[in-house]
Structure 1
């Protein structure tokens, strides 16, 4: 009997259907996540070993396996050097079968990792970098930004300050990609809100003395001194602003990118009254307290939003692998966008086309020493900012993935 073309097509379809279970597979028989972060530098407290621990906790809570294959978590210190960070990421992908790279403190390194994971079909789970380019013009089908970005953390405080009459600003900026992005977004928000930027100045990363950058801000007469910086540079600036009488003179110091580790380092006496946007607070509810207590037992510190975000991103990634039946990045990325994000970090969270995980944020204010009743009792939560308001509207996105 002659075999017709239609018969061949039917046989091919049958073979494909029969082969479908084979798609439930894991490359190299292991799912490996690399946590690329600042393990020893000025951002190590808000990321670092705590981010690695959070990823390990997510893997353990998932049962240690996915699709019956082991989950392995590895970590490395990029030292805030782009060549070091890129070198580690390349080695992980080319030689060590790492399937996803998480955290990636430092926007410049994150943008390079975004390109590399896009080119090699790997997943990037960004919790720490603030640049909006990761979900903007340089977005990736396999890249995800989880906790915050410079838009979410700049817009809220700027609006609140202008509404109460603090409408002139001087911006002290970290001189690298993160700081430049934050300064640009804040400037636009200030001007659109009817405020005015009286001046800007940029400081080098890791400066021990920021007095030369604070004195022009003080002399400008601006009602608000905005610190478009983070980590130890930011806490140094706040301490020196107090020492030089910046706050005593009536100028408001605002630090859009501040975390609980920074408040702990400064102490309530110095940090009291500072308001900023936060993505996570350990004492928000029973779920956050339960996670935080487990984390604290190992680290001796409460988790930052960035560290909690690493847990959430890795956990969601593992759920997506399970749902997709494979660790192939394209299939997993599609499932990450499809599945809701529901955990202690985010309720009713969702991943947009551009890779931004949208979730509610909080406007918090650091308590006065007399208000704090226990260790790490640092925040008054002033308001919840709905995710749709906290992040850049999708119709304003420059991401080419957005239809």
Structure 2
């Protein structure tokens, strides 16, 4: 072989070696969420650990390759989230990104994943548009969406007499989607929306917003926000004496929010989740393990991260490859079964079908101890908790 031939051969080996190494190297799963901002208590490190629990329970390997969990803080900024996702996909060999709390970041990451042909699975992001007009063949809304959070509880409250509504909504994609989906549910059963006020995300002072809600005389004050915003709004409602004549409902209020508020402030608040730790022996057993590791009880977001990682690994095993299209096909064909979900499935638009539950926060006297906060008041069947395909704007669906 001449000198030129040796150079070409060396180049071929040099460029081929990384591809072979990537096929034999670890399978990396990226958990992207808020690890330092207003949603850290409901997501962040606990969701990362839930992913690691799923990998451990699966055995730590699949297709003979070690499974690694990597994580990063998107700081609730779409540009930061996309930059991390791009590096993970293009440089670090991450095969799928999960959780992606905050809808604005999720929309940006979804577009990048669509371009790269990669899988993204949402547990913390909730806009129903992620499986609606912005749907993607390789994305899944795993744990909840704004439709599920609003349809059952909103309709139930109207039917129980709460027929006039006032919304306090965060001025972002998530707050807008929550308000839209809840308003549609309210008006569909004869209720009226008599007012709305928008607030910036991460607002500390809700006094003026609560006064507007009180002055509206609406029977229901709906909080279309999350995290610290929800807690601050509930505290303001307590301080300004929102009376029993006005029912406050947290459209996305999670167990850590109630824990942070305390039962005295949060009592009577209605919440909707797809998981509660104290539902049965299986949920209690997993939650005990989670508590021992994280010193907090889990809620639906980390529980959903656990389930999504487990299902993703099962799909890789079934597909015999990490190729995104093959794995997504397996994810949609395999039933979802874990402590949180029984016989769930991923619909054509990427929406997971599972039951949801409406809970009322207990009176302090009714609680048996720390984390005993909810009493179940209604079950929303899986088919009712998802927007009907006939109403979907997802372009993947054949009309």
TM superposition score category, shorter chain reference:
over 0.9
Which residue in 1 is equivalent to 2:136?
A: 140
Equivalent pair of 1:174/1:180 in contact (CA under 8 Å): yes
Structure 1 vs Structure 2 CA RMSD: 1.3
Equivalent pair of 2:356/2:382 in contact (CA under 8 Å): yes
Matches within 5 A, 1:4-403: 27=23, 29-247=25-243, 250-403=245-398
Residue 379 of structure 2 aligns to a residue whose secondary structure is strand
Equivalent pair of 2:321/2:327 in contact (CA under 8 Å): yes
Render the CA deviation track for 1:263-321: whole Å, top value 9, x for unaligned: 10111111111122111011111111111111111110001100000000010000000
Residue 180 of structure 1 aligns to a residue whose secondary structure is helix
Which residue in 1 is equivalent to 2:17?
A: none
Render the CA deviation track for 1:9-60: whole Å, top value 9, x for unaligned: xxxxxxxxxxxxxxxx974632111100111111111111000000001111
Shift of 1:381: 1.4
Which residue in 2 is equivalent to 1:12?
A: none
Name structure 1 gaps, 5 residues minimum.
Answer: 1-24
Equivalent pair of 1:320/1:333 in contact (CA under 8 Å): yes
Equivalent pair of 1:247/1:253 in contact (CA under 8 Å): no
Equivalent pair of 1:26/1:67 in contact (CA under 8 Å): no
Which residue in 2 is equivalent to 1:9?
A: none
Name structure 2 gaps, 5 residues minimum.
Answer: 1-20
Q: Distance in 2 between matches of 1:321 and 1:29?
A: 15
> How many correspondences in the alignment?
378
> Structure 1 stretches (4+) deviating beyond 6 angstroms?
none
Q: Distance in 2 between matches of 1:96 and 1:75?
A: 12
Equivalent pair of 1:187/1:197 in contact (CA under 8 Å): yes
Equivalent pair of 1:175/1:203 in contact (CA under 8 Å): yes
Shift of 1:387: 0.3
Which piece of structure 1 moves more, 38-47 or 170-179? 38-47
TM-score, normalised to structure 2's length? 0.93
Residue 204 of structure 2 aligns to a residue whose secondary structure is coil
Q: Distance in 1 between matches of 2:242 and 2:347?
A: 41
Q: Distance in 2 between matches of 1:385 and 1:193?
A: 16
